[in-house]
Structure 1
Amino acid sequence: MSQVNLAHSHALGHDEPVPSRYALKVGDIDVMVISDGVLPITTTTLATNAAQEELAAWLGDMFLPPEVCDWPLNVAVVRSGDRTILVDAGLGTEFPGFPRAGQLAMRLDAAGIDAASVTDVVLTHLHMDHIGGLLVEGLRGRLRQDLRVHLAAAEAEFWDVPDFSHTVMPTPVPDVLRKTASRFLDVYRGQLRPFETEYEVAPGVVIQRTGGHTPGHSVIRLESGGDRLLFAGDAVFQTGFDKPDWHNGFDHDPEEAARVRFGLLTELAANGGQLLAAHLPFPSACHVAVAGSAFRFVPTVWDY
């Protein structure tokens, strides 16, 4: 999965008019960000504790529509040592209401990544837009039998009897989330490698539980040759830079999620590491700067 091979993967004939993959290096670690597509989301979900006029002003400043906007959905493939690690798996294709997401299988092929080469899957959490891709037969059947699936033990335990009392989601969503997580655990339970606090999946690749968004929500930290990168999953949304105290409707513990978000952004601003996240605009690669009592998204210059 060298950058040379990745750069020539267009020979497979799967290229699209808009880029859907982006390669970068973290020291000796190769990273490929892949877009699983976009999801429509009601804008009120982005800030359930904000005044209506404050949210409207932020949306206007960001040139986003007032009622429903597109939510990017990013996953990553990480190569370190002899391990090839899929970080989250997108939505899958079993949700007809979201026809522009669930592109992972096609885009892995387009990137020249053989699903059978994936040795490990790291899951930030078990929401359907992070695990659905692993339930698609076209991808699931191509994965190796000894695949290891890493997630926080607290995450698997939570979905046995999930509590949605602090979330603010459209009515049908909690039930779909519950059913999808339950099915995933049934299918992959024998391949799960749960951890308590953190676990080093490969040299320089550590998954660390943060909680907040879900009880077992985790981030992935990469470090090699003095370079750092954090895949924040759903700990950081687009609103999180300007308004880190805004609650997302999918946060299972909104107050804790805000504390986690503020802490991670503060850390990144201090150490200069790169940030990737599931729902930042593709390819999501950025740095973080302090801006008064909040933060500033500083896009990484594309290297091509």
Structure 2
Amino acid sequence: MSLVDELVPSRYAVQVGDVEVMVISDGVLPITASTMATNAAPAELSAWLKDMYLPPEITDWPLNVAVVRSGDRVILVDSGLGSEFPGFPRAGQLAMRLDAAGVDPASVTDVVLTHLHMDHIGGLLVDGLRGRLRTDLRVHLAAAEADFWEAPDFSRTVMPAPIPDVLRSTATKFLDLYRGQLRPFETEYEVAPGVLIRRTGGHTPGHSIVRVESRGEALTFAGDAVFQPGFENPNWQNGFEHDPEESTRVRFRLLKELAATGEQLVATHLPFPSLCHVAEAGNAFRFVPTNWDY
């Protein structure tokens, strides 16, 4: 089977005014289900998992990245897990799937990173991708994010034991390799016409989202600001959140804003292609999938 003949779709393109956004699946990785709601009562989490037809102990976590084309700029938003983690063989598919989608890595002018967790930066460390990127590539991330990883604090996270050390070493390696190409920003930065990156904090101190707006249409790539349980249970905290209370505030604000504007949402760990709208439902929200446009 050729790369373009994968039986399960791995890319989906949507037009936002004059800007093209292609969501690409980097694959899935297994995650302990309890990590998705560390402050939830076990019975409530079990009931939610059952209602969603998800396994009770270990569930697959989707990994979505995006390629955004605006004018003469080709922007890669996050890069997936990469292939340096042999325990996750179904993730790290980005290099292959960029080829399948006809996206030449040498055409990428900018990379935007929502944050420096390994499942967002690992793809940029893989020889199959890193060696094919242009030498004048610009890598945009919040200055607070780069600063945080100089001496990261995991005291408020609830992760499986080996993960913090792997996150730390991966971020250190990334910063060492790409430091000369970093373009840090403080609060927000327009990467290309209609493509704005904005720091939210919460999940990590420099966590950021990307908003695409053109000709009255808009789409937000929310990174890890919202996870699958976060619509119905926005107060549930994820074990990877470095500031759980601030993450909750960020999630509420973002979902309320998206429900008010009606614009589309894409997020890293929502089921591919994750394209949806947000509706308010009392004190919580509803995930409203967008019909695929053929």
Please indicate the TM-score interval, normalised by the length of the shorter structure: over 0.9
Secondary structure, in 3 states, of the residue corresponding to 1:24?
Answer: strand
Q: Does 1:252 align with 2:242?
A: yes
Matches within 5 A, 1:160-239: 160-239=150-229
Partner of 1:85: 75
Q: Does 1:96 align with 2:114?
A: no
Q: Does 1:33 align with 2:23?
A: yes
Residue by residue over 1:247-299, the C-alpha shift from the partner in whole angstroms, topping out at 9 and shown as x without a partner, is 00000000000000010000000000000000000000000001111000000
Aligned mates of 2:221, 2:31 — CA distance in 1: 22
- Supply the AA of the counterpart residue of 1:271: T
Gaps of at least 5 residues in structure 2 are none
Runs of 4+, deviation exceeding 2 Å: 12-15
* Deviation, structure 1 residue 133: 0.1
Secondary structure, in 3 states, of the residue corresponding to 1:14?
Answer: helix
Q: Does 1:105 align with 2:95?
A: yes
Aligned mates of 2:227, 2:5 — CA distance in 1: 28
Residue by residue over 1:177-226, the C-alpha shift from the partner in whole angstroms, topping out at 9 and shown as x without a partner, is 00000000000000000000000000000000000000000000110010
* Deviation, structure 1 residue 81: 0.9
Aligned mates of 2:45, 2:218 — CA distance in 1: 33
TM-score, length of structure 2 as denominator length: 0.99
Partner of 2:35: 45
TM-score, length of structure 1 as denominator length: 0.96
Partner of 1:4: none
Aligned mates of 1:13, 1:242 — CA distance in 2: 37
2:137 aligned residue (131, 142, 147): 147
Quote the sequence identity (%).
Answer: 79
Aligned mates of 1:254, 1:15 — CA distance in 2: 41
* Deviation, structure 1 residue 15: 2.3
Matches within 5 A, 1:50-65: 50-65=40-55
CA contact (8 A) 2:256 2:280 kept: yes
* Deviation, structure 1 residue 131: 0.2
CA contact (8 A) 2:234 2:284 kept: yes
Partner of 1:297: 287
Structure 1 vs Structure 2 CA RMSD: 0.9
Residue by residue over 1:44-90, the C-alpha shift from the partner in whole angstroms, topping out at 9 and shown as x without a partner, is 10000001001001101101010000000000000001100000000
Partner of 1:20: 10
Residue by residue over 1:102-148, the C-alpha shift from the partner in whole angstroms, topping out at 9 and shown as x without a partner, is 00000000000000000000000000000000000111000000000
* Deviation, structure 1 residue 13: 5.0
Partner of 1:5: none
Partner of 2:122: 132
CA contact (8 A) 2:3 2:96 kept: no
- Supply the AA of the counterpart residue of 1:263: R
Aligned mates of 1:40, 1:82 — CA distance in 2: 37
Gaps of at least 5 residues in structure 1 are 1-9
Partner of 2:256: 266
1:120 aligned residue (110, 114, 118): 110
